[in-house]
Amino acid sequence: MVVLEFRIDRRSGIATYLQIVQQTKQALRLGLLEPGDKLPTAREVVEATAINPNTVLKAYRELEREGLVEAKRGLGTFIRRSLGGSPADSPLRDELADWALRARTAGMERDDVAALFTSVLEQHFEGDGDA
């Protein structure tokens, strides 16, 4: 059973292999993928998306390097661990929601908030890769 389907957006400007990495991580965070699940084979991915097989292999190697998946020879690529994301109702989310409300009350535009958030993210997570 294929548990995950990748959507490749050629116009996004994001490297194709990164899109696969990001979408896998996203699925892990949302609990759509769990340890022990099998990722689609390179053949399945390229047949569905018409992208280069080496791109898929590169993405899987990247996930493996990060310790998220494990390639078992002849069997496929399997999820090793889940990503410690924050569930939708965590206290962190509540705090962020409070903050967003305050920003809005203070008269900030949506784009200003996003730019501020991104710059803080970059400051604190610098060098953490693309996820």
Partner 1 sequence: MTETVIEAEGLGLRHGRRGAWALRDVSLRLPEGRVCALVGPNGAGKSSLLTLAAGLARPTEGVIRAASRETLAYVAQDKPLYPQLTVGETLRMGHELNPGRWNAETARRIVEGGALDPDARVRSLSGGQRTRLALALALGKRPGLLLLDEPMADLDPLARHQLMGVLMADAAENGTSVVMSSHILTELEGACDHLLLLDGGRLRVFGPVEEVVAAHRLLTGPAAASGGLAAHTVVETRITGRQLIALVRPRGPVDTRTWQTAEPSLEELLLAHLRSPGAPVFAPVASHTAQGVRA
Rank residues 54 and 118 by Cβ distance to partner 1 and give the closer one.
54
Nearer Cβ to partner 1, position 43 or 104? 43
In the complex, minimum distance from the CB of residue 7 to partner 1, in angstroms, rounded to a whole number: 13
CB nearer to partner 1: pick between 4 and 56: 56
Alpha-carbon span 47 to 41, nearest angstrom: 10
d(CA 22, CA 4) in angstroms, rounded, equals 13
Instruction: Give every CB contact of residue 30 below 8 A, 6+ residues apart in sequence.
Output: 85
CA angle, corner 30, sides to 45 and 98, nearest 5?
A: 140
Task: Please name the amino acid found at residue 119.
Answer: S
Instruction: Report the Cα 26 to chain-centroid distance in Å.
Output: 4
Distance in Å, CB of 68 to partner 1, minimum: 21
- Find where tokens 């989310």 sit: 93
Residues engaged in binding partner 1 (CB under 8 A): 8, 10, 13, 16, 41-44, 46-56
- Least distance from partner 1 to the Cβ atom of residue 74, Å: 14
C-beta closer to partner 1: residue 14 or 103: 14
In whole angstroms, how close is the CB of 11 to partner 1 at the nearest point? Answer: 9
Give CA 36 to chain center in angstroms.
18
